[in-house]
Amino acid sequence: MTENQNTDLENDELYEHHKVIATDGQLPLRVDKFLMNFIENASRNKLQQAAKAGNILVNDIAVKANHKVKPKDVVRIVLAYPPAENLLVAEKIPIDIIYEDETIMVVNKPAGMVVHPGHGNSSGTLVNGLIYHVENLPTNSNQRPGLVHRIDKDTSGLLVVAKTEFAMAHLSKQFFDRKTNRKYLALAWGNIEEDEGTIEGNIGRSFKNRLQMDVFPDGEYGKHAVTHFKVLERLTYVTLVECKLETGRTHQIRAHFKHIGHTLFNDERYRGNDILKGTTYTKYKQFVENCFKILPRQALHAKTLGFRHPITKEMMQFDSEIPEDMSKCLDKWKTYTINSKD
């Protein structure tokens, strides 16, 4: 029935993209029924919700579930991953909810909280708390109910959660089409000379350290990644930047800034906990170590999140305060910078 089937699994964004090309002998068939022949574990309802959200395209045009597929039609769909088999345990975990309605929820994740269960983190995650707070969340892959994107354990900030299948499909498409607005605050080592710029280069798992991601500028390995940045403040040996994500790869900001020689402050995995500049001075070394104690994680916060509401279609924008640990660290660097000029 197909001439070619190509599935690109976008694990970083928690959804998948299927492409199916109908054969020359394809008889007219509803697109939802057509896709059920090729997508494992895809229910009719899930496919219909995807169509309703505009996630099914035939020859690059969004269609309804009852659209008839014809020979040589190119059918594409963005779909949440099917659920995993293992059961999750709901846990009464405090969640900082800054917005909620019947279809979506926006939460402010603290640093140190894992977003979803994984190896070594079977409980205490944001997802464990979400399924306690909301029953019957639509499920993504690897037991990730409600999630259409994620942030690292030691990164703080905003996440949007889908409470219905339709919201999951609609939001997934926005992330896939890069129509969301995500801005982060990051404190990076060194003086970034450009006032603003763009870091572009494929990101993939490092060949030397499987816990790290590397940048591959030639594009032969990894996934396309683009980070736009703007310098907000230069603080002697570190620089505060605003980062706007065009893509959403694993460790994207962390890997991109290491690639340009400005590893994030106290990012241990990428050696941002090495004290740079002025290390011959005992007082400076003590100052930096004190900053590390105040901010015992990478200096990265998902501050702004914007997207279009799945139901009202209103463009929604949320902003979060800089968490206390990062704010105190910045204050110390500001004081140090003022004193160093005296």
User: Which residues are tagged catalytic?
Assistant: 152
Q: Positive or negative CA dihedral for 290, 294, 300, 301?
A: negative
Helix residue ranges, H only, the chain: 31-36, 44-52, 126-133, 165-176, 252-259, 282-294, 324-341
| 153 CB-near residues (< 8 Å, 6+ apart) | 111, 112, 113, 114, 115
- Separation CA 78–CA 15 (nearest Å): 7
Which tokens in the block code for residue 136?
A: 């019957």
DSSP string, 130-192: HHHHSTTPPP-TTT-TTBS----TT-EEEEEEE-SHHHHHHHHHHHHTT-SEEEEEEEEES--
Q: Comparing C-alpha atoms, which of 290, 294, 301 is closest to residue 240?
A: 301
Burial of 74: CB neighbours in 10 Å, binned 0-12, 13-18, 19+: middle
Using CA atoms, how far residue 90 sits from 7, 114, 124, 129, in Å, is 32, 15, 9, 6
C-alpha dist (Å) from residue 150 to 112, 212, 215: 14, 17, 20
